């Protein structure tokens, strides 16, 4: 039976150690990408794909996340008094963007453990998982394509991207077989962050998943893997190998993806997105050209 998928799960309990000290008292998901917190891009992407019910898996220090998706009465009143309606609109936009829910992870024991915390909220329906470190350009289609394939195949679907072989150690990597559909592959195996030189392919998992609820039963029995953490990749490997709930398929994404997971990629993401903004790009572009011409 095909379900209309409505629920998105966004793990946001990581400690953000790569961005210390910025993330000492603030969640890394609130770091601005140009002028919006990274997490807002992700919630907007979920909503654009029809997922209005968003469950965030949070941890300590994450109050700013809840506040961002709620009213900020004093600020709104001040902007209204000043007649600054443009900024007021920006502030209010995230208030009612989605139907937001929160659950805490407690002990952060890995991505698989975070997803397992969504079990009560999700129930017995397929659902999406979106990781905040990966931003997908809103002009390129990914999540709705994955939802479509989840419906067609009644299986779990993950997003894949071909990466340079030197980068495979940073991702979950899939072994795949072609299907009759050009952008869809069948997953025959998955391995989390293989050591350099041992990767079975260059198909990397990027942080979008549309999963059968059976993943919760599998996660419950998944032993800690890479880094001593309960890995979502390991649970999906078991589902692929044992053909659980229809097995696992991959949608191969060839669009624009921005990584905000570490400092260098974060800086690149900001520059890439700012260059394309009509309010910033026209001034930033010539400045960037001049700046880079003077670099040695």
Residues found near ligand G1P in the complex (CB under 6 A)? 111, 131, 133-134, 171-172, 192, 204-207, 231, 233, 261
Report, in Å, the least distance between residue 204 CB and ligand G1P. Answer: 6
Taking the least distance from each CB to ligand G1P, the nearer of 55 and 160 is 160
User: Among all residues, whose Cβ is closest to ligand G1P?
Assistant: 172
φ, ψ of residue 102 to 5 degrees: the values are -135, 140
Give Cβ neighbours of residue 236 (< 8 Å, ≥ 6 apart).
156, 158, 172, 187, 190, 209, 215, 248
CA distances from 276 to 70, 131, 137, 211 (A): 29, 23, 11, 33
Q: How far apart are the first and last CA of the chain?
A: 60
- Alpha helices of the chain — where are they, by DSSP H? 38-48, 63-68, 73-82, 85-93, 111-116, 119-122, 143-153, 215-220, 232-241, 263-275, 281-293
Report, in Å, the least distance between residue 14 CB and ligand G1P. Answer: 7
Taking the least distance from each CB to ligand G1P, the nearer of 51 and 160 is 160
Taking the least distance from each CB to ligand G1P, the nearer of 56 and 206 is 206
Taking the least distance from each CB to ligand G1P, the nearer of 79 and 258 is 258
CA nearest 118: which of 105, 99, 109? 105
Report, in Å, the least distance between residue 261 CB and ligand G1P. Answer: 6
Report, in Å, the least distance between residue 26 CB and ligand G1P. Answer: 19
d(CA 171, CA 188): 17
Give Cβ neighbours of residue 136 (< 8 Å, ≥ 6 apart).
45, 142, 143, 206, 208, 253, 255, 256, 257, 258
Q: Is the separation of the CB atoms in 234 and 225 below 8 Å? A: yes
Report, in Å, the least distance between residue 3 CB and ligand G1P. Answer: 25
Report, in Å, the least distance between residue 11 CB and ligand G1P. Answer: 8
Taking the least distance from each CB to ligand G1P, the nearer of 40 and 260 is 260
Report, in Å, the least distance between residue 231 CB and ligand G1P. Answer: 6
Taking the least distance from each CB to ligand G1P, the nearer of 46 and 205 is 205
Count Cβ atoms below 10 Å from residue 131 Cβ, excluding itself: 22
Taking the least distance from each CB to ligand G1P, the nearer of 58 and 94 is 58
């Amino acid at each position: 039976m095909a379900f209309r998928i409505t629920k998105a799960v966004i793990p946001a309990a990581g400690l953000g150690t790569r961005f210390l000290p910025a993330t000492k008292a603030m969640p890394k998901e609130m770091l601005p990408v140009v002028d919006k917190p990274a997490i807002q891009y992700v919630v907007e992407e979920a909503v654009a794909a029809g997922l209005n019910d968003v469950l965030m898996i949070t941890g300590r220090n994450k109050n700013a996340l809840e506040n961002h998706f709620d009213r900020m009465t004093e600020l709104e009143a001040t902007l209204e008094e000043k007649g600054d309606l443009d900024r007021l609109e920006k502030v209010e936009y995230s208030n009612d963007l989605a139907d937001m829910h929160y659950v805490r992870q407690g002990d952060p024991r890995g991505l698989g453990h975070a997803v397992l915390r969504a079990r009560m909220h999700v129930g017995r329906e397929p659902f999406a998982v979106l990781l905040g470190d990966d931003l997908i350009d809103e002009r390129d289609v990914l999540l709705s394509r994955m939802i479509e394939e989840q419906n067609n195949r009644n299986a779990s679907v993950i997003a894949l991207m071909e990466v340079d072989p030197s980068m495979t150690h940073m991702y979950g990597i899939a072994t795949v077989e072609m299907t009759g559909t050009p952008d869809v592959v069948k997953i025959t195996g998955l391995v989390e962050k293989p050591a350099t030189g041992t990767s079975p392919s260059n198909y990397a998992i990027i942080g979008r998943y549309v999963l059968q609820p059976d993943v919760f039963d599998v996660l419950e029995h998944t032993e800690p893997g890479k880094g001593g953490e309960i890995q979502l990749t390991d649970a999906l490997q078991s589902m692929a190998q044992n053909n659980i709930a229809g097995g696992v398929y991959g949608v191969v994404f060839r669009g624009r993806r921005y990584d905000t997971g570490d400092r260098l990629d974060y800086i690149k993401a900001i520059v890439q997105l700012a260059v394309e903004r009509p309010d910033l790009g026209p001034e930033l572009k010539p400045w960037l050209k001049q700046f880079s011409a003077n670099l040695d």
